Amino acid sequence: MIDFKQEAQDISKELVEFRRNFHMHPEASRTEFHTAETVAALLESLGIEVNRDYAGDLPSVVGLLKGGHDGPTVALRADMDALRLQEMNTFSYRSQNDGVMHACGHDAHTASLMGAVILLARHRDQMHGNVKFIFEPAEEDIGGGRFMVPNGVLENPHVDAIFGLHVENAYPVGSIGVCSGEMMAASDRLIIKIKGRTAHGAYPHLGIDAMMIAAHFLVAVQTMMAREKDTFNHAIITFGQIKGGTARNIICDEVEINGICRTFNPETREMLNRRIDEILKGITMTFGGTYEFERQRSHPALICDPDMAEHVRETADMILGSGHVIDLPHGSLGCESFAYFAEARKGAFFWMGTGNKEAGIDKPLHSSSFDIDERALPLASAMHAALAWNYLEKHSQS
């Protein structure tokens, strides 16, 4: 077995440089052109075949490393985009792009997968099969995977399994969190307009109060969630934005409500969206208003294949040592565009521990003060490389 942990440690300075360069020059979803150029340049310098067309106009990079021996093909994936958020950190490598920040760790994802590219390229002649390196754009937005999978990123050659990771400060550096089955939720964006009729606030009987209708709707939806949804069926509806009204003494004639629906089960996903529409219809009809309901389907649920999740556990025991795998009892109602890849192939996704409370590195994802313990970078690269290598070794002999 190749000592990927030591080899990754030997290039840790390079990995930190990769990550800090990306952190200083973050690019929001759909604009990751500098990042993609940097990634593609590394792959090409190592003699790896590069394709940049799988996501259409979005700046994706896909590399194919061909092994010296026949065998299956495994894929490793990282996302590249940053968030539209003003960074509050003051360290030297803070964002130089005003209003954009790597607050979700995609700089670390990209850097660590670049490290795996370097490690695996060294041993290509011994490799039994192929490795595809998928650098996905716009994860925080539309999700490049929704285009890359239909455009054939998992073909030519056919990909048999795929793995991905996400940094997480809730887990200490040197550990991972993994679960089988439900890992991350499907997501729908909910855009609702409730329309009434304006009138003076002193004469409400002459109007139709859209704000009052909206209040009834919001309560009714959460009542439905509490009384109609199976409590063991993980799902949530959250409305985080409501806009309406022109003045304190005028009956509001239109309210816009924006929210999310997160589910694991496809039937539950459809049922909840149907019930939202039925509740809107009933309440607006009761009070004389009208409504518009737009549902924007986002990422599907991320379901980890049990065998691939076990492969992650076994590999982590080799790279991190026994006792460093945190078995998660259930998934998260967050969402993740890796789901497009795992929906099409056997795959597993895991949390890479990057936290260090003693050093104050404990801020949550999407925080304007987010940072990671960079000692996790070589461990993440080693995990990527070993996951691919071990899969090829095991399945080329089966």
- The residues annotated with a catalytic role in the active site are 81, 139
Kindly report the number of other CB atoms within 10 A of residue 307's CB atom: 11
- Indicate the SS3 state at residue 168: strand
Q: From 42, 39, 83, select the one nearest 60 (Cα to Cα).
A: 39
- Give the position of tokens 């041993």: 123
What's the alpha-carbon Rg for the chain, to the nearest Å? 24
Give CA–CA dist 261/269, Å, rounded.
Answer: 8
Give CA–CA dist 387/105, Å, rounded.
Answer: 20
- Indicate the SS3 state at residue 380: helix
Give CA–CA dist 285/175, Å, rounded.
Answer: 54
Q: From 251, 154, 233, select the one nearest 194 (Cα to Cα).
A: 251
Q: Residue 364 — φ and ψ, nearest 5°?
A: -75, 165
At position 336, the amino acid (one-letter code) is E
- Indicate the SS3 state at residue 88: coil
